[in-house]
Amino acid sequence: MSRRFNNRKLLVVLGGLLILLLLTLVIKIPRERSTLKGTLVAFDTAGVELITIVPKAGLSEEFRFTRNNGRWNIIQGETVAVPVQGAVENILSGIMAIKPQTLAAVGKSAQEEYELTDSLATRIKVTGKRGRKLAEVLIGKFSYRQSASPYAGYGRNNFDVTTYVRLAGEEEIYAVDGFLALTFSGGFNDWRDKTFIRCKRDDINRITFTYPADSSFSLVKRDSFWFAGNQKADSLKVADYLSYLSLAEGREFADTFRPGSYPSYQILIEGNNLLSITVKCFRDGDDQFILNSSLNPGVYYSSDRDGMFAELFKPRNHFF
């Protein structure tokens, strides 16, 4: 009788514990989850007029994207440039996609630990018409751990990355899936359009190289064959050069350069269904050159003798 009574007591206690567990699952956990934001920010991207990015202290100066008559520019100090294609869309979609997974910490004391102070974080400010603030997000440190997913590739892509963020003026610090620091990394020049030459390689049929002294020559396509001067050129070498030439990009900007003389080297690109493109090259010392394309006449790039200069300005014998 005593044993039966003890078993009954145990069943009652066990049932009580199960009820408490169910109450915790049904009431407490949803309540905790409800304190998380579904998305960190929400706004109409069509109304955005200004995006300001303040990188971590010491990495780069503040720069901003501004919309003027439907077109975006990127500005830092006195330098006004064209942003790389899709830059603004990527920034806005990246901010809108931030979805907090957990509440990592609350309070100013944790901001330094998660690199979310004013000097340690990357700050993105989004402004609408008439200077209305739409969002201001701080991106802090990231961490990673071995993925528990059985679908993670062995030896690669098997890490879960978490980034910590907070809203300006708020003390809640959220953990977010993904490497947000990469999305919003880079300085002013990293976000600029570096297009130097863009054309279809098959449209090109003549390239005129104007060099010092008597080293100038033309690369001309005749009846499906290429000739450097009057000599038939190596088709593979011409093909490699055209592949680079048709998609050439600048590297190091030379924003302070102003030409004070005629170019030392020049390339004229002509072809079918192709507006002529002129590439100018100015000397800037013994082994330094400044390059400019008629596609972006106000933008200059610097190069040493073995860099972009060597890839563009080939000697005649290169094509044999």
Residue 155 sits in which domain range?
45-191
Per-residue pLDDT of the chain (320 residues; tens, 9 = 90+): 455 546 666 666 666 666 666 655 544 444 444 467 688 999 999 999 999 999 988 778 999 999 988 899 999 999 999 999 999 999 999 999 999 999 999 999 999 999 999 999 999 999 999 999 999 999 999 887 766 655 555 444 577 889 999 999 999 999 998 888 778 888 999 999 999 999 999 999 999 999 998 899 999 999 999 999 899 999 999 999 999 999 999 999 999 999 988 999 999 999 998 999 999 999 998 889 999 999 999 999 999 999 999 999 999 999 99
Instruction: Provide the pairing of β-strand 204-210 with 265-271.
Output: antiparallel
Question: What whole-number distance in Å separates Cα of residue 134 and Cα of residue 90?
Answer: 17
* Burial class (CB within 10 angstroms; exposed 0-12, middle 13-18, buried 19+) of 86: exposed
Domains in the chain: how many in total? Answer: 2
Q: Are residues 62 and 131 in the same domain?
A: yes
Predicted TM-score of the model (pTM):
0.80
Domain endpoint, select from 146, 172, 191 = 191
Q: Are residues 179 and 275 in the same domain?
A: no
Coil, strand, or helix at residue 282?
strand
Q: Are residues 208 and 157 in the same domain?
A: no
For the range 302-309, what are the long-range contacts, defined as Cβ-Cβ under 8 Å and sequence gap of 24 or more? 302/252, 302/253, 302/254, 302/257, 303/251, 303/252, 307/251, 308/196, 308/248, 308/250, 308/251, 309/281
Question: What whole-number distance in Å separates Cα of residue 83 and Cα of residue 62?
Answer: 15
Q: Are residues 172 and 268 in the same domain?
A: no
Q: Are residues 130 and 222 in the same domain?
A: no
